[in-house]
Chains A and B, each alone.
Chain A
Amino acid sequence: MAFRAAFSLLSTLRRPVAVLRSLKQPGRTRPAHYGMQLRPLHGTAPRWSARLLTAEEMFGRRSMQDYLKKLEREYEESLQKANSSESGEGLEEEQLRAMRTRIHRMAPLVQSLRELETNEAELREAEALLTDDDPEMRELAALDIQHGRQHVQALQHMIMELIVPDEEVDLCDLVLEVTAGVGGQEAMLFTAEVFEMYHGLSRHLGWSFEVLEYMSNDLGGLRRGCAGISGPCSYKRMKFEAGVHRVQRVPRTEKQGRTHTSTMTVAILPHPTQITLTIHPKDLRIETTRASGAGGQSVNTTDSAVRIVHLPTGTVAECQQERSQLKNREMAMKVLRARLYACRLEEETSRRYLARKIQIGTKGRSEKIRTYNFPQDRITDHRLGRSVHHVEDFMLGERLLEEMNSALQEFSNQESLLELLGENV
């Protein structure tokens, strides 16, 4: 429910446009190819022209109710089968194990569904009391209803969370990569600020943030930076931050007070486990300053920078963040692994999500997702088509960014859910 509070903070600047759009396209019957193929690269039209449905509206849909009933039925049947085969008849060992896993996984969902039913029944009882003769009774009933509704909504949210399928990589740690785009020094300064913003967000959400690469210039700008982020839901959230971020402001270096527009890119690379990605040592070339001469005890160098080249693909990662060469090598490997994995993932997902409107992770790399307008003190997310004020607060990476990010997640969840229910989004 936090996101709903977030929306009250979001300015309604673009909302009339969004509503107009959804009116023009009644019954959610946009052509299926409305997705990324036809989207102009630098368009600012909101990605989600439809509005976000409330939990109540979602549960009011027949398709949703049918789907939930189906799940419950499935659970009951599985439970019955598993129990009857325990007494010695029917299923193979393996089938049985698969079924038990499924039962185990569905249990919290079914539990919540039953709780919801009970709560809804209680709510109806309380509503009946609203017409009671006793004013005190009516007051009590109103209070009950208020509490009951909150509880029901919370349950509905939980159920929706449980239904939306996790992506394979949702549970991964990730590597954040920021790169300065168009706009020279100003773009690099903004890149440094965005990097710091995500550092702030990590602190705010209790994630670990480990700087892996920081290629700055003398004036304090950042050409490219990488950081390893891990913590609960870190990839799940951060994937919505990937894309081109645009800044509009008067740069510090600008003498005539003109507003410049610059860009930077955020990539979110899921960090693969050892099993999902194997790299052969012979495919790597490791470069250090100790490569010439005799090395070992005969030289004492303090330059512990490490650069690793993956020869078959030409992918490069380097690190000079640490005083220990081994640590630098480990960090460079981490970045390299993430980059190689991202390439492979990109190939796989481009097939799977071709038709989806939301592009996440590396896929959205070229899409402009957000504008930070300093003169108007406003941040606009082009996918939501909504704005929020107080750029400086936003860039602390705390509440405002968290709320915008939550809104994106809600939208994406809704889309997944409708897709799951077989509705034409």
Chain B
Amino acid sequence: DCVAFKCIRHYFPRNSILSCPLQGICGTHSAPLSTYQAPPPIPGSSMTAFQAMNLWRRCFEERGVGEPDQSSQYIVAHLLGAKTIESLGHEKLNKPLSCAKMEQLWELSVKRLSRMPVQYVIEEWDFRDLTLKMRPPVFIPRPETEELVELVLADLQGKEDTGMHVVPQLTCLEVGCGSGAITLSLLKDLPRLRAIALDQSRHAVDLTRENALRLGLEDRLLIHQVDVLKEPEVLLSLGDSISTLVSNPPYLFSEDMTFLEPELLRFEDHAALDGGEDGLDVIKQILTAAPKMLSIHGHVYLEVDPRHPPLIQQWVKDHVPGLSYLETRHDITNRPRFCILRRER
């Protein structure tokens, strides 16, 4: 899929593909929808977890469901109370499943068969040290974002360790919090930090609050439902002494939305993915407001598309006085992924 993705981006001229993301459902990846197959029936005889896992792996494979191995493994591990199959141990895998467990397994796997992402099927996923509740259509955090948190943590930890007796009160603002992954990770690792988290979606705001409560981090967190595209002025009302602004904004180019896997297209909130024609719609709003909200020398950390860093650097130079582009950082697959900017005097 990834190779196809790349080629298509190269060979199709811009805008030649309809920009409405929903039309992607009827596009190239939608074969399983049109030719509906009934899920495999629950076998009459009892099965071990291992056998059931293999049955579903084959089924996923035959019907073109992505990551058939991992999908069947994660679902079975979850069913037996473990996070991964590796941490389960072979003894549990070789025990026969009870009727109730079989039914549960079938229910979950059929969901996966409809191309629902594994994270939604098992209703949770891990982000760094945290286990977070996951619910459609709230954006599922990607591994790259774990690295974004790493960058912000290094910066804020440095700011807390000033060596002075009075440690400055640090406040962090996140635009587009989704399930709360970034903000909650920061709050967990920085016990003095306060945070404000925004999202345009009611679902996301609710899920962030739920995750914060489960982790006991709600005391230092303010959550607002705000659409920065429609009401950018709300950003300015949030204050002028934010120490750090962090965001994993929607950054996909609208034209690329069509080629996403059905898992994303059918289940994830498009507003959390689609960044407009050049993927910069939300990014531009954030950067415009940044100098007015940040304290002096406060930083902006963004996760972006690999094509974005030079575009952002130029745009900021031309349009946002008081904000300077510091550097581009790469993710572990060595793609330019993160932009760091700073408010100047």
6 contacts between A and B (CB under 8 A): A292-B2, A294-B256, A294-B306, A295-B331, A321-B84, A326-B150
For A330, give the chain B residue with the smallest CB separation.
B128
Other contacts beyond A290-B333, A294-B305, A298-B5: 15, CB < 8 A: A192-B90, A218-B50, A291-B333, A292-B3, A294-B306, A295-B144, A296-B142, A296-B144, A297-B139, A297-B272, A299-B264, A300-B263, A323-B84, A324-B146, A326-B147
List residues of chain B with CB within 8 A of the CB of A368.
none
Tell which of A67-75, A92-100, A301-309, A339-347 binds the partner. Answer: A301-309
Bound CA–CA A286/B125 (angstroms): 23
Q: Please tell me the size bucket of the interface on A.
A: 20 to 34
Q: A296-B142, A302-B118 are in contact. Are A323 and B250 (CB under 8 A)?
A: no
Q: A304-B143, A324-B143 are in contact. Are A297 and B273 (CB under 8 A)?
A: yes
B237 to chain A, nearest CB (A): 28
Bound CA–CA A293/B6 (angstroms): 6
- B94 & A220 in contact (Cβ 8 Å cutoff): yes
- A302 & B147 in contact (Cβ 8 Å cutoff): no
User: B111-131: contact bitstring with A at CB < 8 Å (1 yes, 0 no)?
Assistant: 000000111000001111100
Bound CA–CA A321/B73 (angstroms): 12
List residues of chain B with CB within 8 A of the CB of A302.
67, 70-71, 74, 117-119
For B144, give the chain A residue with the smallest CB separation.
A296
List residues of chain A with CB within 8 A of the CB of B306.
294-296
For B6, give the chain A residue with the smallest CB separation.
A293
A139 to chain B, nearest CB (A): 57
B142 to chain A, nearest CB (A): 6
List residues of chain A with CB within 8 A of the CB of B9.
294
- A296 & B305 in contact (Cβ 8 Å cutoff): yes
A325 at the interface (CB under 8 A from B): yes
B83 at the interface (CB under 8 A from A): yes
Partner of B93, one of A220, A300, A304, A325: A220
- B84 & A216 in contact (Cβ 8 Å cutoff): no
List residues of chain B with CB within 8 A of the CB of A218.
50
Partner of A303, one of B67, B250, B263: B67
A162 to chain B, nearest CB (A): 38
Bound CA–CA A291/B2 (angstroms): 10
B316 at the interface (CB under 8 A from A): no
B147 to chain A, nearest CB (A): 7
Bound CA–CA A323/B2 (angstroms): 21
For chain B residues 203-255, which have a beta carbon within 8 Å of chain A?
248, 250-252
- A216 & B142 in contact (Cβ 8 Å cutoff): no
- A293 & B87 in contact (Cβ 8 Å cutoff): no
Chain A interface main SS type: loop
Bound CA–CA A82/B147 (angstroms): 53
User: B251-273: contact bitstring with A at CB < 8 Å (1 yes, 0 no)?
Assistant: 11000100011011000100011
List residues of chain B with CB within 8 A of the CB of A304.
143
List residues of chain B with CB within 8 A of the CB of A296.
142, 144, 251, 303, 305-306, 331, 335, 337
User: B299-320: contact bitstring with A at CB < 8 Å (1 yes, 0 no)?
Assistant: 0000101100000000000000
B86 at the interface (CB under 8 A from A): yes
Partner of A300, one of B74, B127, B264: B264
Bound CA–CA A295/B6 (angstroms): 11
A81 at the interface (CB under 8 A from B): no
- A297 & B251 in contact (Cβ 8 Å cutoff): yes
- A295 & B146 in contact (Cβ 8 Å cutoff): no
For A289, give the chain B residue with the smallest CB separation.
B67
Partner of A294, one of B6, B84, B139: B6
List residues of chain B with CB within 8 A of the CB of A320.
84, 86
List residues of chain A with CB within 8 A of the CB of B74.
302, 323
Q: A290-B333, A295-B335, A302-B74 are in contact. Are A325 and B252 (CB under 8 A)?
A: no
Q: A218-B50, A324-B143 are in contact. Are A293 and B70 (CB under 8 A)?
A: no
A210 to chain B, nearest CB (A): 10
Partner of B332, one of A219, A288, A324: A288
B91 at the interface (CB under 8 A from A): yes
A246 at the interface (CB under 8 A from B): no
B62 at the interface (CB under 8 A from A): no
A199 to chain B, nearest CB (A): 10
Bound CA–CA A59/B292 (angstroms): 78
List residues of chain B with CB within 8 A of the CB of A294.
2, 5-6, 9, 256, 305-306, 335
- A299 & B86 in contact (Cβ 8 Å cutoff): no
For B273, give the chain A residue with the smallest CB separation.
A297
List residues of chain B with CB within 8 A of the CB of A300.
117, 119, 140, 142, 261, 263-264, 268
- B5 & A290 in contact (Cβ 8 Å cutoff): no
For chain B residues 69-121, which have a beta carbon within 8 Å of chain A?
69-71, 74, 83-84, 86-87, 90-91, 93-94, 117-119
B1 at the interface (CB under 8 A from A): yes
Bound CA–CA A286/B331 (angstroms): 11
For chain A residues 297-337, which have a beta carbon within 8 Å of chain B?
297-304, 320-327, 329
